Amino acid sequence: MPRQYANGGRAASGGGGQAPGEARSLKERVGALRNLRPFMLMVWRTSPGLMASTLVLRLIRALLPVISLYVGKLIIDDVVLLVQLPQKPATLQAWLDSGRLNWLVILLAAELVLAVLADVLGRVVSLIDSLLGERVSNASSIRLMEHAATLDLEDFEDAEFQDELERARRQTSGRMTLMGQLFSQAQDLVTVASFAAGLMIYAPWLIVLLFVALVPAFLGEAHFNAQSYSLSFVRTPERRELDYLRQTAASAETAKEVKIFGLHGFLIARYRQLATDMYAANRKLALRRAGWGGLFTAVGTIGYYLAYAFIVWKTIAGAFTVGDLTFLAGSFRRLRNLLEGLLTGFSTVAGQALYLNDLFEFFKVEPEIHSPPNPTPFPRPVRTGFVFEDVGFRYPGAERWAVRHLSFTLQAGEVLALVGENGAGKTTLVKLLARLYDPDEGRILLDGRDLRDYDLDDLRGNMGVIFQDFVRYNLTVSDNIAVGRISARDDRSRIETAAARSLADGVVARLPAGYDQMVGKRFKNGVELSGGEWQKIAIARAYMREAAVLILDEPTAALDARSEFEVFQRFKELSVGKTAILISHRFSSVRMADRILVLANGQVEAAGTHEELMSQSGRYAELFELQAAGYR
C-alpha cells in the first residue's frame, strides 16, 4: 500500500492535506504558528547559553531607544530654558563656572553613553545570532539526516517523498532568518510598549490612529506571504529538476556522455524553459506584492502626518513644550515604524512558520519497517537457514507483482545462485531477505522465526550485501572498503584482509598513496578507477563486514569473464561455513554454487545443480546454450 506523505495531495500522520497550489487560508496561516514553539525549543536545546545571552542583551537594547529619545527631550527643554535666560554668560568658561551647564553636560554624556552602548550591544547581538544560527542549522541538518536514516527504502524510491525531503532539507538552513526575526520581534515588542506608554500619557487616541493606518499593510503582507509559500510548495518538483539539470550538465560523473551525445543543448534548453516559467510566476507575484504594498504604505504615511500635524498644533497652542514636540514626534515616528515592522514581521513569521511545516512534517514520517518491542537476537550461528513461504511483494504504486507465491529454502552454509532474465525478481528477493521491504503476502523465516521478529539492525548487520549499483564514494580507498563495517574504520589489518579476499589488493598496489589514496574525481588529488577496479573495492566491503550471510547481486558486470570467475571462485572458497547468495548473468560463474534457483515472473521455475538443470532442458539450459553460443 502506498505510503502517505505530508502537505501535498497525500496526507501524513498528524498533517492535513490540501491541494499544493491552493493559497493558504488565514486560519491555516495562523495555525502554522504552532510550529514556533517546537522551533524555539530546538534553538534552546542547541545552545541554552547563547539563546539566553541574546535574549537578555536584546531586552536591554529594547529599552535604549525610548530612554535616548527622552534624554533628547530633556536636552531640548534645558537648551530652551538656557536660551531664554535674561542674563547669559559671555564665554563658555563663564557658562561652566556658573554651573548652569552642569545638567546639560550630564544629559549629553548620558546620550553619548547610550549611543555607544547601543552600537556595542548591536554588534554583540549580531555575533551571538550568527553563532547560534550556524549551530541551529548544523543541529537541524544532523537531525534530518538521523531521521532520514530511520526511514524505509520505499520512502526514498517515492517521488513525493523526494519532494518532501527536498523541502525539509531547504528548511534546515533556509529558516535560520526566522530565529533572528523572532528575537527581533520580541525586542521590538518591548520597545513598542515603552513608546506606547509615553504616548498614552500625552494623547492616547494617537495609538488608535496608528493601528488603523497600519492594518491594511499587515493584511496585505499576510496575504502575499501565503501566496509566496503556495508558489514555492507547488514548484518543488520543478526546483528539484532544475538542480538535477544543473548537476547533470556540469559534473564529472556525466561529462563524458554529455559530450559524446552532445546533450548540452538539450539540457540547457530544458533548464532555460523551467527557469523562465518559474521566473514568470515569481515576477507576477512580486509585481502584485509591490503594487499593493506601495498603496498600503501610503495609507500608513498619511496616518503618521495627521498625527504629526496634531502634535505641532498642540505645541503652538502651548499644551506641549518644544521638548515634548520632539519626544512625541520622534516617538510616533519610531512607533509607527516599529508597529509596521511588527505587523508585517508577524505576517512574515506566520509565512515562515508555514515553511516550518515542511521540516516538522518530515520529522513525523515514521518507518513502517522496524524492530519489534522485544526482538529476537540474530542466531549465531545460523542453524537451519531461511525459508520463503508463499511470499508475495508488489512495489508501491505498481500494478504488477514483483514476486508472488515464491517458496524455497536457503539452507545454512549453502551457496545459492539466482538466475533469470531481467525483471524475474532476483534483486527483489535480496531486498526482502535484508528487510529493505517486507512481504505483502506470506512470510520469510530465519531458523523457524519470522524475519520481523528479529532486531532490524542486528539482522542487517549480519548481512554483507553488494548490489550492482553500489555507491562509488569519493573517499580514500581505505574508507571505501571500511563502509562495509564503518565501526572498524581504524582497523587497517581488517581492511587489508578484505581487500585481499576481493582481489582489490592488486588495485591498491598500483595507486600512488595505496589505501590512503583518494578515489573519484570530485575532490583534489582524486584518482578515477575503472569499472572493474571499483567493483573489486565494492566487493571488499562485503568481506569487511564479516557477516554470517553474504550476498553478491550482480556486482561484477564490469569485470571480464576471467576476473569474474576468479572473484566468484574466491567467493566460493571464502563463504565456507557461511550462508551465501550470488547473482550473475554469467552461467560459467553460477555453476559453482551448491544449488541454483531459476526465477521467472517472480516465481521459482526450477531448482537444482548445474548438471541437474541442464538435464531438464528448461529455461536454464536454453539461456546457458544461448550464452555459450556467443563464445563459440
Cross-sheet strand order for the sheet of 403-411: 403-411, 385-393, 441-446, 449-450
Above 50 in pLDDT, residue 16?
Answer: no
Distance CA 88, CA 95 (A): 8
Q: Is residue 63 part of a domain?
A: yes
pLDDT given at position 9: 37
Q: Is residue 6 part of a domain?
A: no
At 532, list the grid cell.
572493474
Least confident among 133-142, 207-216, 488-497: 207-216
Are 44 and 176 contacting, i.e. CB atoms less than 8 angstroms apart?
A: no
Above 50 in pLDDT, residue 212?
Answer: yes
pLDDT given at position 7: 46
pLDDT tens, residue by residue, 87-146 = 777 777 887 777 788 888 888 899 889 889 988 998 998 898 888 888 888 888 888 888
Which secondary structure element, helix H or strand E, spans residue 596, and what is its range?
Answer: strand 595-600
- Of 294, 329, 364, which marks where a domain is finished? 364
Least confident among 46-55, 288-297, 362-371, 593-602: 288-297
Q: Does one domain contain both 479 and 338? A: no
Q: Which long-range contacts (CB under 8 A, 24 or more apart) does 53-60 make?
A: 53/128, 54/125, 54/128, 54/129, 54/132, 54/183, 55/183, 55/186, 57/121, 57/124, 57/125, 57/128, 58/125, 58/183, 58/184, 58/186, 58/187, 59/187, 59/190, 60/117, 60/121
Q: What is the mean pLDDT of residues 315-337?
A: 70
pLDDT given at position 15: 38
Helix 205-234 × helix 236-249 angle, to 10°:
60
pLDDT tens, residue by residue, 531-559 = 888 888 888 888 888 888 988 887 666 66
- DSSP label of 36: H
Cis geometry, peptide bond prior to residue 381 (ω within 30 degrees of 0)? yes
Above 90 in pLDDT, residue 602?
Answer: no
> Three-state SS for 552?
strand
For residue 469, which of 519, 512, 431 has the smallest C-alpha distance?
A: 431
Are 378 and 547 contacting, i.e. CB atoms less than 8 angstroms apart?
A: no
Above 50 in pLDDT, residue 17?
Answer: no
Q: Does one domain contain both 488 and 354? A: no
Amino acid identity of 252? A
For residue 35, which of 171, 223, 187 has the smallest C-alpha distance?
A: 171
- The total number of structural domains in the chain stands at 2
> Three-state SS for 415?
strand
Query: Which of 146-155, 200-209, 233-242, 564-573 has the largest mean confidence?
Result: 146-155
- The more confidently predicted of residues 522 and 366 is 366
φ/ψ (deg, to 5) at 19: -60, 130
Above 50 in pLDDT, residue 11?
Answer: no
CB atoms inside a 10 Å sphere around CB 258:
17
- Of 465, 497, 531, which marks where a domain is finished? 531
On the 0-12 / 13-18 / 19+ scale of CB atoms within 10 A, 229 is buried
Range of the domain at 503: 473-531
Amino acid identity of 380? R
Distance CA 583, CA 425 (A): 11
Q: What is the mean pLDDT of residues 469-480?
A: 87
Helix 159-174 × helix 236-249 angle, to 10°:
90
At 194, list the grid cell.
515603552
Quickly state the pLDDT bin for 176 (edges 50, 70, 90): low
Q: What is the mean pLDDT of residues 286-291?
A: 77
Distance CA 187, CA 184 (A): 5
Q: Is residue 151 part of a domain?
A: yes
Bridge pairing between strands 579-583 and 549-553: parallel
Q: What is the pTM of this model?
A: 0.65
Q: Does one domain contain both 352 and 491? A: no
- Of 364, 395, 417, which marks where a domain is finished? 364
Q: Does one domain contain both 341 and 489? A: no
- DSSP label of 476: B
Report the b/e string of 330-354 with b at 16+ CB within 10 A.
bbbebbbebbbbbbbbbbbbbbbbb
Q: What is the mean pLDDT of residues 423-437?
A: 89
At 472, list the grid cell.
562509488
Alpha-carbon Rg of the chain, whole angstroms? Answer: 36
Residue 443, sorted as left (phi over 0), alpha (psi -120 to 50) or beta, turns out to be: beta
Residue 596's alpha-carbon distances to 151, 322, 416, in angstroms, are 33, 100, 6
Q: What is the mean pLDDT of residues 459-488?
A: 87
pLDDT given at position 326: 73
Distance CA 128, CA 54 (A): 6
Q: Is residue 345 part of a domain?
A: yes
Above 80 in pLDDT, residue 562?
Answer: no
Distance CA 613, CA 620 (A): 6
pLDDT given at position 175: 60
Distance CA 32, CA 25 (A): 11
Distance CA 524, CA 181 (A): 40
pLDDT given at position 152: 84
For residue 579, which of 606, 552, 613, 612 has the smallest C-alpha distance?
A: 552
Above 60 in pLDDT, residue 256?
Answer: no
Q: Is residue 631 part of a domain?
A: no
Least confident among 266-270, 290-294, 600-604: 290-294
Distance CA 188, CA 178 (A): 15
- DSSP secondary structure letters along 32-48: GGGGHHHHHHHHHHH-H
pLDDT tens, residue by residue, 348-406 = 676 677 777 778 888 888 888 888 899 999 998 889 999 999 999 998 888 889 999 99
- DSSP label of 383: S
- The more confidently predicted of residues 602 and 28 is 602
pLDDT tens, residue by residue, 61-90 = 888 888 887 888 788 887 877 777 777 777
On the 0-12 / 13-18 / 19+ scale of CB atoms within 10 A, 469 is exposed
Q: Is residue 304 part of a domain?
A: yes
- DSSP label of 439: -
Distance CA 156, CA 160 (A): 9
Q: Is residue 85 part of a domain?
A: yes
Q: Which residue is listed with cell 554469467?
A: 586
Q: What's the mean per-residue pLDDT of the chain?
A: 79
- The more confidently predicted of residues 30 and 54 is 54
Distance CA 446, CA 379 (A): 9
Q: Is residue 264 part of a domain?
A: yes
Q: Does one domain contain both 332 and 477? A: no
Quickly state the pLDDT bin for 591 (edges 50, 70, 90): confident
Distance CA 158, CA 146 (A): 19
